[in-house]
Structures are given as structure tokens and as C-alpha cells.
Chains A and B, each alone.
Chain A
Amino acid sequence: MRYLAPRTADDAVAALLAEKGPTRILAGGTDVLVQMRSGAVEPDLIVDIKRIPGLDRITREDGGWRIGAAVPNAALGEDRDLRASWAGVVEAANLIGSTQVQGRATMVGNLCNGSPAADSVPALVAAEAVARIHGPDGTRDCPVAEIPAGPGKTTLKKGEIVTSLFLPARPRRSGDAYLRFIPRTEMDIAVASAAVSVELDAHGRIVRARVALGAVAPTVLVAEEAAAILTGTQGEDDVLERMAEACRAICRPIDDKRGTVEFRRSVAGTLAKRAARIALQRAGGQS
């Protein structure tokens, strides 16, 4: 096994392209190292991207935020502006693991690990976050929603590296929230999760909504009908109940040690309803 810590994204891409055996990109390592220790993966090459300049920074861009691939989740929680604008995204990222894990784990790592239960991914999808990808053909931008491809899989091609995530600027009267269900209070993996992002008009009416569900299908789900139900309303109780049902209707969960199909479906809707209430509250709405 070789370990490389290149100083540029191009060098990292070249190293990954040149390696014939299994490779892993190392940022915080909170998934990769665990997988290696358990024997689940035995990479021939590890490319550490933490030494690439800029990847460890959060920068403002067009009123939004560009978050480098090596920014630990703890740093997100310490960025007051980011937290105020994208509270749901930050709380999703900050739910992952323990305090120690927070000091290492990154949102890009969470995304690229490909887990259907990844906490930050539904929140990023609801936020319409965009990933910047460095690859053999240069740089491209891709909506976060299009990156997961199934458990442990992404749509990234060989040699491609997600170097940053972009969260857009927030208008006034907007808010987001993320909730997950775990049997414990922390240190666990989502059995079902939901993220909701809303923008309100001056009358507290929802003009734009986005709902994403986690751990209820092979990849994160964008609940378009649920978002449509919210749009034009003030998030009244009966609207939220209908929205929850619309979420339940699109779930395609599995039965496993963490929960039954019936349970996941039911709880996903409940979480969406509760997350919508929090998002509305953050946006300054009625609920």
C-alpha cells in the first residue's frame, strides 16, 4: 500500500488515474480508516488531499459559501454566518459521530462514502448544494443530488475528486432543518432522515421548498411532490400531514437490523413534518 499527499489537485488526479489497484481518497479518514481496520477495503493507494492548498478553507463566493473537501465538520459549526444561513446543513454535519470524529470528518467524505444513511447528504440536497469536481478532463460542477449512486457507490469517474461544495446565498425569510431517527441519542446511523429547506414571501407563504429523505432508498430521495404540497401554503398542520404522506409514498426502504420497511416509511414522513416546522420557524414563518 502506498500513501501520497500531493500538493495540487492535478497531481492527486494523476496519481489516482495511474493506479491500477483499489484506491481511496483520504480527507478526515473517519470512514476510510475504519473500513481498512475492519478489513473491508485493502487499498493499494491512498491519496491524502489535506495538503492541497485551499481545501481546508470555507470561503465566501457570490454571497454563498464554498466549503473545501478537507474542512472538518467542527469548523462548520464554528462559522457563525454559515450556521445562521444554513442551520440544517450544519446541524446535519455536526450530528455525525462523536466530538473527536467531528474534528476530522468532512461533508465531502460523507457524500463520497456513498452511504444511503449519510447525515449531511439530505441536508445538502435540500439546500441544492453543488459539488466541484476535479478530474482528468478538468473541473466540473455537479449537483450533490446526482453524486450518490447506491450503497457505497457514487457517479464519480476514475480519477475524479470532489474538491469543494458550494452552498448558495440565502434570501431573507429562508430556513432549513435536518432530522434523523436513531434509537439512541447520538453515536448512531440514521434509520430514516429528512431535510427541508423553505423560502417564504413577506406574508409567510412558502414560495420555494425542497424536501430530501435519507436512509429510505439506495440513494437520497428528492421528494418533489412533498415540496409541491408545501409551496403556496403557510405550512398549516393539515398541509404538513399531507406532505408527510407524500414523503412516505416515495420511500423504498429495506428491512434490516436497524428498522423495518413499515417503520422507516412511517418515521421518514414524521421527520419531514417535524423538520418542515423547524425550517418554517427559522424562516420566520407561522408554525
Chain B
Amino acid sequence: MSFDEYHRREFRQVGRRVPRPDGVDKVTGRALYGADMTAPGMLWGAILRSPHAHARIRSIDVSEALKLDGVKAIVTGADFGEVEDESIRDIRDNCMARDKVLYDGHAVAALAASDPRVARKALKLIRVEYEVLPHVTELEDAMKPDAPVVQEGRVQETVPPGMSANVTSYCEFGHGDLEAGFAAADHIVEREFRTAATHQGYIEPHACLAAVTADGKADLWCCTQGQYMVRSVCAAIMGMEASQLRVTASEIGGGFGGKTTVFIEPVALMLSKKAGRPVKIVMSREEVFRATGPTVHSRSRIRIGMTRDGRITAAEARLYYSGGAFPCGTVEMGAQAAFACYDLQAVRSQGWNVLTNRPKEAAYRAPGAPVAIYAVESVVDELCQHFGLDPLEVRLKNAARKGTKSSYGPTFPDIGLVATLEAAKAHPHYAAPLGPNQGRGISCGFWFNFGGNTCVTLNINPDGTVSVTEGNPDIGGSRASISLMAAEELGIPYDRVRTIVADTASLGYNDVTDGSRVTFAVGLATIKAARAAIRVMCERAARIWGIDPEAVEWKDGAAVPAGPNAGKFPPMTLAEIAANSFRTGGPIAGHHEVNADGAGVSFGVHICDVEVDPETGATRVLRYTVFQDAGKAVHPDYVEGQMQGGAAQGIGWALNEEYIYGADGRLQNPGFLDYRVPVASDLPPIEPVILEIPNPGHPYGVRGVGETGIVPPLAAVSNAVSRATGVRMTELPLSPPRVLAAIRRSRATDGA
């Protein structure tokens, strides 16, 4: 298996900033997104959503709506059959409520009509009788013993007795003697933190087109991060065999984790099945906010002890996450990630998941890690301030490195945190002077990264070009990166390779585009598929030359005799072998299927300068630098784009983004006006600094880069604001009213 491992090499293709293959289509408006699909005889679906945060559905009367001319089918929860798997049952019930609605915006019925206006009109004719129940949208309230119970019977055995039935799971990680660790500290800081739920904020709303035929076959086009996931989940919900459902992923206008599950696809399939016609559903932005996955909202309590020279002696985190109305495992990832950046003798993190009457959480870039690490990095920063220590030096002193037993169990192999911290320390940004009302914050970040199930087919075309078929929607430039790796391995120019994303019937199973896995795992499979094709091409050359296949090797895009004893033949290029392939045994292809291991954990360090207006509480980000261990950067533009995009989303999370619920349990800000993602003018240029520390688990040293970048900004911004104002901030977002109130409170205390 030494073939798999990283070997130092000189790259010819990998590392170049080549044009993206999907670029022209996207900037000219030709790229086909979820809502661009149409079919003859197509109907328009629309979904009726609950105005209540929590209510029992007494009855649904669709008779008036059905009478409206143009209405072809209506479905409710009663149309969906039983499902054995609990997690798929939750997805089904999230797509369409059964007995109860569990949050404002929960789907209660859907219909298909001849045009969108008729559909909207018909929705108003559906009569739903609700028995409104007491609701709970805030985590703290939901944990109280007398809180309304969102879903009965969902508590796992791990949860200690005596808690509200909304507390569904408990987890714990760590090692060492905490008591002794805290006793050895010169100072201990214990703080409580809160973070609001945020949305992934992708620009493209969910959209799909479903066509179910009378003989039970179905086609589904949708925007998703994983067409195979859509197939598995929808087939289970519809009671279909996977082979009968073909799912094609459209171009995708952002996902960030939020498109790793389904919301409208089973509904469209059921409507199409009932109507006997293709059905398209396109969510509005309001529906996206009310009914698709935001991230968790959280409360946490962090306690860290430190010696006066900056050594952390003990660290403890208690994390409470709510992923909405359904059980959610995100807190486990938060609890595992919380202290991953540190080499600790005594550490414990505990996590509890809490149900609330909010939409079901969906993954969001490094799910669970940003809010846990925000709290930890805030306390580390406060300890640095207490002792007057340099925050980068303290992190270097405590940094996890090769051989560190991580807080969540595994012992780290070669990792890049120390190199990343050193790069930050040496960067001019860290030494730049600050003006009045300005502050500088730093934070580390960590993400696990993932490999997973992957299939790639690589076809050598008769004209000497190469087609790579992979099964993961391209959300961050992966087609270019995969083409680069194929070209590298084959020794041909990048523009001879085209990579396409296949539908579920055309290639074996692929895990969802998540976990920063695609460039790593699909890249790995592509390199191996190329090697398989090279073996065939060497055999073909050997046949033509009449020598032993073992005596042929591949060099610079051509078969060559392996040595002087093999015979004297001029190199036979890939194009020549391809042109002769029909005469030498037929078409040539390579393929590879793997459950990829060795993704390699990832670390980043961010430096953020802010200025806070002391009279309005407004924060302006002045300068921002991202340092991240990217492994080998296959396409540096995309790597930088991931680092900048993660930082931009994290800055938004830190400063203004939040789900705001009213006392009535309804979402107050379901639109981009009052759900404030940063606009371009809100952000300074974000400078990315790539560190290429090869991942030993990949032939080219590639490591996932997509998620780590969103982890540090929350604390980097909050630490900067805390230092600029002189007030330790403990709640996100740092919206101007909150910051101004904190400044005023602190001045009032100082004056007293």
C-alpha cells in the first residue's frame, strides 16, 4: 500500500491557477441550477406552512383547494408511509408534518397546480384546524423541568435523569485529573457564552423537479450537495428501490452543509406520483429561512486554568446545543473539537442536545466546532490578558503537535498547527500598530476533515482527451482540481481533461460533498483511476511493441520502455495509444472505488483587527488575515477562496447574523434584509496565507480545506472587540445594540 502514501514530488499541473471549467457558463447565465429544469406537462408545487411554533394538527380539509381549476394533486403527512430508520423518519417528518407542527414554517400540506399563481391561490383554500400548544424556542427555557416538550420519547439512555424531556442526548470526552489541574493553576477563568442560530445563507434557494412514471420509475433533478444521499433518503421515504430513482444534481448556488439533506424532494416526488405529471418546487427565500437548516444555537460554560507563564493546566467545557425540533448530534462534534488545538494533561468536554420549536438543524461548515471553539478561545484570550501574555505565544506554548493525545481521543500524526501559529507570529499584520478604539483578536481553529465513500471513472477518449466522471456536486471548484490531478498523474495538459458530475445511475455510490472531503477523497480516487488507466495503456504499448508489459513504464504522458533491456522504442503518447485503442483491445478506462481514510485534521489561525464606534457600538473589521494548513494546494485560487469564504461567513456569524424569534414563536427575520450576512463593503480584503504541510494520507499530500476557515472568526472578532472596548464580550452576534449596552454597563460600573 505504499503506493497510497505521500511522496515528495515536483508538480507540473497541480498548484496552477487554471481557469475554472464552469466559469463561463456561470458568468453568462447559462449554467443550469435547480430552478432551471423544466419538463413537458410540468406542474408547479407549493407548500403550505404552519404559522404556529407548536400545534397539534386536528384536521386538514383540502376539498375546496382540489375544486380549484388547475389543481392536480394535494399531499399531506398522511400520504407518506412508514419508515423504519429513525433518522430518515425525522427527515420525512421534517419535510411534511404528521400529527404535530414543530416550528413556525413546518410544512403541513403541498399541492401541484398548472401554474404558480393557481398553486398560491389554492394554498389559501386549504383549511387546517390546529390545536395550538405551548411552545419553546429558546434553549435555556427548553431545559427547564416544566418546559413544553417538543417531542416525547426521544431521550437517549446517556442523558442523566432529572432533566427536561427536551434534553435528548449527552456526551463526554477528555482525559486526566481535572481537580489536580485546576489546583496547579495560578488563575482560573470561568465564563458563560451564548451564540445565536445562523443560516448557511446560500444564494440559491432549494429547487427540484420530480417525474414519477406510472410504472414506478422516477427521475429527480435538484440542487444538492449529494445526489446519492437524495436517492437513499427519498427511496426510503417513497418505499422505492434505489435503482428505480435516478437523481441528477444541478449546478449548485452554494450549500455550505445546508444541502446535505432533503426538504422538498420527497414532497415533489409524492406530488408527481399522485398527479402523474412532473412537478417542480422552488422555495422562496422566506421558506428557506423558516424551514431549512439553520445551525444550532448554543449556550456554553468554559473553565480554564493557567500558570502565570501561560501553560494551561486544566480545561473544561460544558456545551448545550439546540438543533431545533429534532434530535441532533452536532454537540458531539463541538465537544470533540472544543480543545483540539491544545496539548492538555487534564481536559473534559461535555455536551447536551436540547429540543426547541425551531427548524431542524442542518450541517453548516465544520458543524458544531465554531461555537465551541469561540467560547474556548475567548477564555484563553482573557487569561492572556490577565497575565499580560502574548496570545500567540500562549497558543504556541500549549499547541497540539505530533504525538499529542487529543482531547477527543486520537493521538495526532504530523499536524500543522505550530507552523500555522509561527507563520501568524512572523506576519507583518501581527506587529502593525493599532489606533484608538481598535483591537486585535486572534483565534485558532480546528476541523476533523473526512474521506468517505468515493467512485471515480476515468475514460481515455479515442482523440486523446480524458473524461473524468465523479459523483460529487462541485461546490468549491472541485472539477478544476480533479482535472488538475488527473492531468498531473497522466502527464497531459489540464485542458485535455474534462471532469463531469454524474447522476446516480451512472456511477457507484458517493458520500455527500461534505467534511471537506472532495478534493482529498475524489482526488485520491482520480489519481488511482488514472494509474489504472496507465496500466492498461502500458499494456497496449507493450502489445504494439511486442514486449512484456512489465517492461513498459509511464513517463511524461507517454509509454516508454522501462530500460535499455526492454528494447528501443520512441515514447508512445497517450493520444497515440488512444488512437490505436480499438485495434489493441478496445476502449481504455480506469476506475477506482474506495472508502477513503487518512483525510488528515486541519488547523487555522486568524488575526482580526476591528474598530468599535463607542457611541453606536458598531464594529468595523479593518484587517483580516487567515493562516491555514492546506496540505498541497491543488488549485491555490480555490484554496484561498475557501479560506476567505469561511472567514467572511464567520465574521457575519460574529457580528450580525442571527435567528430572531418573537414571543409568538415565529421567526422575525426570514429574509436577507434583517438576516444580515456581510455585504462586500462590510469586509476588508481578507488575506489568505496558505501553509502547505503535506497530508501523509494522500499521494499528493492533499488535505481538506473547506471548513476550518469558519471556525476561528467568531473568537477572533469577539476577542478583537473585547480588546477594543475593554469589555469581555460573551454573546454572539456582536450586534451594535448589544455592544453599546455592554460598553455602557461597563462604564457605569467603572464610574460607581
Contacts and interface: CB of A to CB of B under 8 A. Distances in A.
Contact of B656 (A184, A186, A270): A184
B463 interface: no
Contacts of B669: 257
A11 interface: no
B675 to A, nearest CB: 9
B286 to A, nearest CB: 8
Interface string A263-281: 1001100100000000000
Given A183-B656, A183-B676, A257-B660, A263 B120 contact: no
B682 interface: yes
Interface string B85-109: 0000000000000000000000000
A185 B736 CA distance: 13
A207 B616 CA distance: 30
Contact of A186 (B660, B668, B679): B679
Contacts of A259: 736-737
B416 to A, nearest CB: 34
B681 interface: yes
Interface string B586-619: 0000000000000000000000000000011110
A181 B679 contact: no
Contact of B618 (A183, A256, A258): A183
A19 interface: no
Interface residues of A, number: 21
A142 interface: no
B230 interface: no
A266 B735 CA distance: 15
B679 A267 contact: no
A273 to B, nearest CB: 9
A262 interface: yes
B718 to A, nearest CB: 16
A38 B286 CA distance: 9
Contacts of B678: 184
Interface centre among A38, A260, A263 (most CB of B within 10 A): A263
Contacts of B736: 181, 183, 191, 259, 263, 267
A184 B668 contact: no
A263 B679 contact: no
Contact of B741 (A38, A191, A262): A262
A111 B238 CA distance: 53
Interface string A173-215: 0000000010111111101000000000000000000000000
Nearest to B660: A257
A185 B681 CA distance: 6
B310 to A, nearest CB: 36
B522 to A, nearest CB: 37
B673 interface: yes
Given A188-B673, A257-B674, A183 B735 contact: yes
Nearest to A192: B616
Contacts of B660: 257
Nearest to B668: A257
B120 A181 contact: no
B120 A184 contact: no
B737 A186 contact: no
B740 interface: yes
A263 to B, nearest CB: 4
Contacts of B286: 38
A270 B660 CA distance: 26
A181 B616 contact: yes
A138 interface: no
Given A258-B674, A259-B737, A186 B681 contact: yes
Contact of A184 (B616, B676, B740, B741): B676
A55 B615 CA distance: 42
Interface string A233-260: 0000000000000000000000011111
Nearest to B669: A257
Contacts of A185: 679, 681-682
A255 to B, nearest CB: 10
A21 interface: no
Contacts of A266: 615, 740
A258 B674 CA distance: 7
Nearest to A259: B737
Contacts of A183: 618, 655-656, 676, 735-736
Contacts of B655: 183
From DSSP, what is the main secondary structure of chain B's interface residues? Answer: loop
Interface in A30-49: 38-39
Interface in B675-705: 676, 678-679, 681-682
Contacts of B617: 263
Nearest to A186: B681
B354 to A, nearest CB: 23
A270 B674 contact: no
A187 B679 contact: yes
Interface in A156-186: 181, 183-186
B30 to A, nearest CB: 21
Nearest to A189: B673
A146 B741 CA distance: 35
B669 to A, nearest CB: 5
B740 A263 contact: yes
Contact of B616 (A189, A257, A267): A267
Contacts of B682: 184-185
Nearest to A98: B679
Interface centre among B120, B674, B678 (most CB of A within 10 A): B674
Contacts of B656: 183-184
A263 B737 contact: yes
A267 B616 CA distance: 6
Nearest to A37: B284
B415 to A, nearest CB: 37
Contacts of A38: 286
A245 to B, nearest CB: 13
Interface string B731-744: 00001110011000
B618 A181 contact: yes
Interface string B387-407: 000000000000000000000
B287 to A, nearest CB: 12
A70 to B, nearest CB: 25
A256 B286 CA distance: 19
B234 to A, nearest CB: 30
A184 B620 CA distance: 9
Nearest to A271: B616
A260 B236 CA distance: 48
Contacts of A256: 668
Contacts of B737: 259-260, 262-263
Nearest to A187: B679
Nearest to B617: A263
Interface in B635-685: 655-656, 660, 668-669, 673-674, 676, 678-679, 681-682
Nearest to B658: A257
B247 to A, nearest CB: 30
A218 B616 CA distance: 22
Nearest to A38: B286
B681 A270 contact: no
Contacts of B673: 188-189
B676 A188 contact: yes
B120 A39 contact: yes
A62 B617 CA distance: 44
Nearest to A269: B615
A152 B45 CA distance: 32
23 contacts: A181-B618, A181-B736, A183-B656, A183-B676, A183-B736, A184-B676, A184-B678, A184-B681, A184-B682, A185-B679, A185-B681, A188-B676, A257-B669, A257-B674, A258-B674, A259-B736, A260-B737, A260-B741, A262-B737, A262-B741, A263-B617, A263-B741, A266-B740
Given A259-B736, A259-B737, A263-B736, 15 more contacts: A39-B120, A183-B676, A183-B736, A184-B678, A185-B681, A186-B679, A256-B668, A257-B669, A257-B674, A258-B674, A260-B737, A262-B737, A262-B741, A267-B736, A270-B615
The 10 closest A-B pairs by CB, nearest first: A263-B737, A185-B681, A257-B668, A270-B615, A257-B660, A185-B682, A260-B737, A183-B656, A187-B679, A184-B682
